[in-house]
Amino acid sequence: MSVFHGKKVLIGVTAGIAAYKTANLVRLFIKSGAEVQVIMTPASKDFVTPLTLSTLSKNPVHSTFYDQEDENELWNNHVELGLWADFMLIAPATANTLSKMTNGACDNLLLATYLSAKCPVYFAPAMDLDMYKHPSTLDSLNKLQEFGNIMIPATSGELASGLVGQGRMAEPEDILSFIEKDIYYKLPLRSKRILITAGPTYEAIDPVRFIGNHSSGKMGFELAHTAATLGAKVFLVAGPSAQKVQHSAIERIDVRSAEEMYQACHEYYASVDVAILSAAVADYRPKNVADQKIKKKDVSLTIELEPTKDILKSLGEAKEHQLLVGFALETNNEIANAEAKIRKKNLDLIVLNSLRDKGAGFATDTNKITIIDADFEQTSFELKSKREVSVDIVNEIIQKLDA
Ligand code: CTP
């Protein structure tokens, strides 16, 4: 999946001939799953029409501080636009706009939004070669980068004037790939490999029956998704679950029993940086699995159970460089029990759910957790959706990796 999937992209268009390429830029962002809003300077409308950009972006185009055509004259809130965006891209960025950005001028909506934006701002200069080389332009380009803005340099080639030199706006495909690499490079889990277990295990009684539990796998799948969007390569060892993987950086390894999960985890463990064990693994399995379906009889049936392997404990014993995270679901003496598990299983973090908290546990869409580290430092969180909980857990892991 593209890093732009679900990203909110604010594109600023200024008055250069390269504005005709912005239509394709908008189209490419939409195709890669981004949400796009466009702001145009008034003069840029001579180069590309707002209708083209609003059709391609599937959103109204903003150009003035209020919509003159709208009888309610609704104010276009530049602060809100700036806060909405995950990043802003000014393409093409003319010498005039670059100079105004450098000096804090804000005589149009695009500049006011730029000044209010807290998100990363990329700009793709486009102008004739002598304008590009002019000391005042070079000064603007330097200062804007010193302010933290990110320049996508102009390329060389034939310009609208017929002259040949540097000043052509980068091609839309190259702009996307530039930003993609920049975002990826800054992702906190870039080049990290993470093993995650999720879901229940099924322990066979006979060819048609098993012992299982109500785990949906949602918490583990959310953790996998969050880690993948932050740049990790995820190996998701999943027991039987209806959940779907929604990111190309997640490799799903389907297993059924605790023994299969154990084998899969040990296969990947040596090569990962982090292991998060959120699966609800069966603690016991039938000692003997019948070859044939067990026939009903008029007497009671006893199935002898034997313990399964404790996967988390075995990974704690085999730990070398990995950061190991376990889960604990407790009903009483929660903190003391969780702390004992940290020691017993050689963990770096444990995520504690208390069944006494309403909305926590494995049969709900929400969870309420406390994270405890190996020094028994506790961080408690409010009841949240499992997606939000996964972000809290992954953020704690990132802090530990950086420490
Ligand atoms: N776990 C595991 N393998 C097992 C059982 C559990 O890897 N055979 C992992 C779970 O994925 C979870 C953690 O161990 O991360 C906690 O499991 P839990 O059932 O709370 O703890 P137990 O060790 O089973 O202890 P107890 O039953 O005494 O609470």
pTM: 0.83
Which band of pLDDT confidence, cut at 50, 70 and 90, is reported for residue 165? Answer: confident
Whether 376 shows a pLDDT value over 90: the answer reads yes
Note the pLDDT of residue 314.
98
Which of 223, 263, 269, 281, when mutated, tests ligand 1's pocket best, judged by the most ligand atoms within 8 Å of its CB? Answer: 281
pLDDT, tens digit, for every residue of 45-92?
999 999 999 999 999 999 988 766 555 556 667 778 889 999 999 999
pLDDT, tens digit, for every residue of 89-126?
999 999 999 999 999 999 999 999 999 999 999 999 99
Measured CA to CA in angstroms, residue 43 lies from 50, 79, 97 at distances of 11, 22, 11
Which of 214, 310, 325, 332, when mutated, tests ligand 1's pocket best, judged by the most ligand atoms within 8 Å of its CB? Answer: 310
- The pair phi, psi for residue 395, each rounded to 5°, is -65, -40
CB atoms near residue 398 (< 10 Å) = 16
Tell me, in angstroms, the distance from the centre of ligand 1 to residue 341's CA: 9
| Average confidence (pLDDT) over 210-232 | 96
User: Which structural domains are found in the chain, ordered by start?
Assistant: 8-185 (3.40.50.1950), 193-402 (3.40.50.10300)
Note the pLDDT of residue 80.
85
Q: Does the annotation count 213 as an active-site position?
A: yes
Note the pLDDT of residue 135.
97
Q: Beta 193-198 vs 274-277: how paired, if at all?
A: parallel
Note the pLDDT of residue 77.
74
Tell me, in angstroms, the distance from the centre of ligand 1 to residue 373's CA: 17
**Higher-confidence residue: 357 or 388?**
388
pLDDT, tens digit, for every residue of 281-339?
999 999 999 999 999 999 999 999 999 999 999 999 999 999 999 999 988 899 999 99
Out of 24, 213, 337, 395, which one is annotated catalytic?
213
**CA neighbours closer than 13 Å in the CB half-sphere of residue 390:** 23
Note the pLDDT of residue 67.
65
Cis bond upstream, residue 92 (ω within 30)? yes
Note the pLDDT of residue 50.
96
Tell me, in angstroms, the distance from the centre of ligand 1 to residue 309's CA: 10
- Give the residue, by CA position, lying nearest to ligand 1 atom 17: 328
238 Cβ contact partners less than 8 Å away, ≥ 6 residues apart:
197, 198, 199, 217, 220, 221, 252, 253, 254, 255, 279
pLDDT, tens digit, for every residue of 222-242?
999 999 999 999 999 999 999
Dist. CA 272–CA 294, nearest whole Å = 42
Q: Is the CB of 308 under 6 A from ligand 1?
A: yes
In this structure, are residues 370 and 378 in contact, taking their beta carbons and an 8 Å threshold?
yes
Note the pLDDT of residue 71.
55
Q: Is the CB of 310 under 6 A from ligand 1?
A: yes
Which band of pLDDT confidence, cut at 50, 70 and 90, is reported for residue 354? Answer: confident
Q: Which residues of 249-259 are buried (b: 16+ CB within 10 A; e: fewer)?
A: bbebbebbbbe
- Determine the atom of ligand 1 nearest the C-alpha atom of 341: 23
